[in-house]
Amino acid sequence: MPLRSLIRLAAISAAAVLSSLVAVSAADAPAPGLSLALTAGAVTDLSVAENLWLHVPVGQPASPWIAPGAFAAKWQGQITAELRADYTFHAEFSGTLKLILNDTVAIEAAGTGDTPVLGKTVRLNKGANTLVAEYTPPAAGDAFLRVFWSNKETPYTPIPFSALTHSASPELAKSLQVHLGRDLFIEHRCAKCHSVPQGIAELAMDAPAFAGIGSRRNPDWMARWIQDPEALRHGTPMPKVFTGADAAEQSKAVAAFLSSLKAGSSPTPTAGNAAEGKALYEKLHCVACHNPPDTAEQDAKKIGQKQVLAKFAPGTLSPFLQKPAEHYAWIRMPNFKLTAEEAGNLAAYLEANADKAATGAAPAEEALVAKGRTLVQNSGCLNCHALDLQNQFAARPLSSLATDRWNTSCVADAPADGAKAPRYAFGVEDRQALRAFAASDRRSLTRQTSLDFLARQSERLNCRECHGKIEGFPGFELLPGKLKPEWAARFIAGNESWKPRTWLEARMPGFPAYAEGLATGLSQMAGLPPKSPEDPTPADTAELAKAGQKIAGANGGFSCISCHGIADFGATQVFEAPGLNLAHSYARLQKPYFRRWLRAPTSVDPSTKMPVYFDEEGKSPLPDILGGDGPKTIGAVWEYLRLGDKMQKPE
């Protein structure tokens, strides 16, 4: 498996494992994030965290590797300062925290979570400084921790991911190898054959349904895919089911049977404009995951599109682009909510530049189709692919697979041709990781955390290929703790009725099966709960909202309406990239993020065009409104936003 260079969300990935192994054996270069030890009883789980953030709902595990209940957390690594300066650390937490910088105790306190704990000022040297944080949750309630820093130039803000690093160790590398084995077990649907009672939701991930597949896929492509899926798509979790001298004939028979599974009438051939399709392809940034079909250079890590004519039956590509998850809920292909015209144009572009499809009808010999039917029933295909047909394949449950058996069958180093076990494209590191996972108690497959889901699936869905790389898409580092999980889940699923950045040609695609896990993971990653807490309404909310309306106006206020629409009222100035409509902000934004954003937007996102209104001490430049009190001014704007689509236009 190739070493990836992307920053990992929690380092529970192949690249993180390999990075640690390489660091131990070759160089002691620091890696992104802090090492994190989570201990419950005699069990300790070592991983990598991107920041001093944590949220564990009561009754849930802090990690898939430890049981729910009491635990302790310890972060270790280095924090890098660009210049030698004095920093103050702040923490919001429940339980107890001890934070040590360069052998100096910055915070040692108990917290209730009601008010931030202000630590002592610590001198950080230019470059790397040692950091150790020890946290113990409270006896009751959720466990959470959020650490921030500030100095003269930087207001109260999260520590940037890029400022935190850790040194590799054999213990960490070994733990991450076990994590990788679990990831591979989940991604390759191993539990579909080797059953796990009461496993996590991801163990139920599906594969393309077989019902009606003969109307959607070409027989020649299916035969080649079944015979050697890795040859057609690098990195696919689909194994090579048949090996040996009869593999080609067996694959052909299965393809013949699948081709006989028809559904509905013949589709209408694609009609569209290829030039407009190419323009749409570029606007949607399809290159984040795909190699353009009209480009000679092909990235082996991306999914090629030269095969679309060979793969899709005539006329079926356009419907697929409109409803990619119709026959495969956990597909990585997102739903862009394409119109019929857009899908037709996109299909026309792809087909115009694809390799020609094989001609000829599917083999229809009765004996061959019958043979394919039997193979589908007996070879494990129906463990992953749904079809109303009796499954006659059975494998040992995971509980009966002793560790010493993980050198054979699916994970054998050199499987024999003709062996009945499916053959996956596992590399040496993959097989070692799977065996390391096998040696664990495997209970991690019964424990799910949103952060674990986010770490794995955000990488699988290539979230960072858009966020931070396309104009208008916020960097991935800005997302944790920004959006309320309820709104984020609707947005990621493609169910939100409005587009935040109307000026942006690109659009956020929908990932319905992944939405809730990603949304709650982003919240919990920032130390916030998976469900937005109730926001208390101040007794003077009407007066505060009126003050917020004044602040948003151009007459004695911040002139927010110059750039932002407010409910039905458009921005008063003409911009190529207007700000978001403020009527949606309350439903969308987490309150702590909003407060930091309005207080010092450039400290959150240095590239933002949002002005800085408050001085270094946090005072408002509007002394006639709430006496220029900064926190009260921000609170007034929040109460104004609370009105949503009932917001009145400011002066």
Which pLDDT belongs to residue 575? Answer: 67
Average pLDDT of the residues in 20-26: 41
Q: How far is CA 546 from CA 434, 450, 585, 650, in A?
A: 60, 39, 17, 9
485: confidence class by pLDDT, cuts 50, 70, 90: very high
Lowest mean pLDDT among 185-189, 386-390, 411-415, 590-594: 411-415
127 by DSSP, 3-state: which?
strand
Q: Which residue has the tokens 């001085």?
A: 615
Which pLDDT belongs to residue 280? Answer: 97
SS3 string of 518-556?
A: HHHHHHHHCCCCCCCCCCCCCCCHHHHHHHHHHHHCCCC
124: confidence class by pLDDT, cuts 50, 70, 90: very high
Nearest to 14 by CA among 131, 167, 179: 179
Counting every residue written for the chain, the total comes to 651
Q: Are 322 and 340 in contact (CB under 8 A)?
A: yes
Which pLDDT belongs to residue 470? Answer: 87
Query: Looking at residue 89, what DSSP letter applies?
Result: E
* Distance between start and end Cα atoms, the chain: 60
Q: What is the pLDDT of residues 225-248, one digit of tens each?
A: 999 999 999 999 999 999 989 999
pLDDT(405) > 50: yes
Q: Which domains does the chain have, with CATH numbers?
A: 29-167 (3.90.182.10), 468-525 (no CATH), 541-646 (1.10.760.10)
Nearest to 178 by CA among 48, 45, 271, 83: 45
Hey, how many other C-beta atoms are within 10 angstroms of the C-beta on 156? 17
Tokens, residue 67: 């049981």
Angle at which helix 485-493 crosses helix 515-525, to 10 degrees, equals 140
Average pLDDT of the residues in 578-583: 90
1: confidence class by pLDDT, cuts 50, 70, 90: very low
Q: Are 355 and 236 in contact (CB under 8 A)?
A: no
Tokens, residue 398: 């995971």
Which pLDDT belongs to residue 472? Answer: 82
Distance from C-alpha of 498 to C-alpha of 514, rounded to nearest angstrom: 20
Q: What is the pLDDT of residues 609-620, one digit of tens each?
A: 899 999 988 999
Task: Name the CA dihedral angle for 372, 375, 376, 378, rounded to a multiple of 10 degrees.
Answer: 160
Q: With residue 135 as reference, give the H or E element that holds it.
A: strand 127-136
Longest dimension (CA), the chain: 88
pLDDT(26) > 50: no
pLDDT(18) > 70: no
Q: How far from the centroid of its chain's Cα atoms is residue 121's Cα?
A: 36
* Better-predicted residue by pLDDT, 385 or 24: 385
* Better-predicted residue by pLDDT, 573 or 335: 335
Q: Are 36 and 49 in contact (CB under 8 A)?
A: yes
Q: What is the pLDDT of residues 281-324, one digit of tens each?
A: 999 999 999 999 998 888 888 999 999 999 999 999 999 999 99
Do strands 34-40 and 43-49 pair parallel, antiparallel, or not at all (unpaired)? antiparallel
- The mean pLDDT value of the chain amounts to 91
